[in-house]
Amino acid sequence: MELAIDLESLAQGIARDGFVVVPNVISEELLERAQTAIERIIETMRAEGIDTFSESLDPNEANLRLYHLAAWDPVFIELLRHPVARALVEATIGPHWLVSNFTANVALPGSGSMNVHSDQALVVPPPWTEPWAINVIWCLDDVHEANGATRYVPGSQHWARFEDVPGDLLARSVAFSAVAGSFVAMEGRVWHTSGANVTKDERRAMAFAYYTRDFIRPQVNWAMVMPPEDQAGLDDEARRMLGMSVMGNISIGGALTRMREGRRPDLRIAPLRG
């Protein structure tokens, strides 16, 4: 299924519009496993007395917030490594990235919007002149305006500082629409929010895989939230994505490295003086 996808035009869509919707990108089987995992996490949180309401984010308890999904169930690591997601992450923020966070927002009828924000502005001070972050938003249900699909502000990826941000953000925002099993790849500078779920009986589950350039400290310290026995089972690639390699922040290089330009084109070599 992935073979039919034109990655270059999807990446161009993100560069032009700030986002792209990739429909039906996973199998029914993978979608069902992710949906089941979300249900299981909610049950476990309730059983263990972990609050699903995040008072700092949401206006009422109809939004269920699930954090650090990759530490709860390996199906989310599978989503993090999805080849189309990864290709769009790398086309947008380059080859050196980490998974900063992976959360779900399950919006039940009656849920309202959070504050409109840009995810890059949460982790990097202005000016925001290029994308250093990207969200791959997995739609685990059909999402549309009435059930509270994520809303984005068109053109907001061009706002470089807080002074550029207008006051009427919600009025300017537009809802995404996608079927379950799709994702929306949205670069980190796009201002957005959750919609209000005004349906009587529709649940809206979306999971936000948030990738950032690797010099930005991730929002989650994966080594602290993932049980040691699960960490022991991770392969090298998963450890690298989650920032659990032995070394960190060594990818850019600079004057310290003795690598010769050309041998490692991924390293930027600063000229040595004198």
Q: Which residues bind ligand AKG (CB under 6 A)?
A: 103, 105, 150, 192, 194, 206, 208
Closer to ligand AKG at the Cβ: 183 or 208?
208
Q: Minimum Å distance from CB 247 to ligand AKG?
A: 29
Phi, psi of 123 (to 5 degrees): -120, -10
Closer to ligand AKG at the Cβ: 189 or 192?
192
Check whether the bond before 127 is cis (ω within 30° of 0): yes
Task: Residue 208: name the closest of 128, 265, 133, 153 by CA.
Answer: 133
Task: Residue 106: name the closest of 169, 171, 47, 40 by CA.
Answer: 40
Q: Minimum Å distance from CB 69 to ligand AKG?
A: 12
Decide: residue 127, CB within 10 A, 0-12 exposed, 13-18 middle, 19+ buried. exposed
Closer to ligand AKG at the Cβ: 132 or 208?
208
Place of tokens 């907001």: 156
95 Cβ contact list (under 8 Å, min separation 6): 266
Phi, psi of 66 (to 5 degrees): -120, 130
Task: Residue 183: name the closest of 146, 145, 135 by CA.
Answer: 135
Cα distance between residue 112 and residue 96, in whole Å? 35
Neighbour tally for 187: CB within 10 Å:
25
Closer to ligand AKG at the Cβ: 92 or 194?
194
Q: Minimum Å distance from CB 68 to ligand AKG?
A: 13
Q: Minimum Å distance from CB 174 to ligand AKG?
A: 13
Closer to ligand AKG at the Cβ: 174 or 259?
174
Q: Minimum Å distance from CB 145 to ligand AKG?
A: 12
**Which tokens go with 161?**
């500082």
Closer to ligand AKG at the Cβ: 157 or 269?
157
Q: Minimum Å distance from CB 33 to ligand AKG?
A: 21
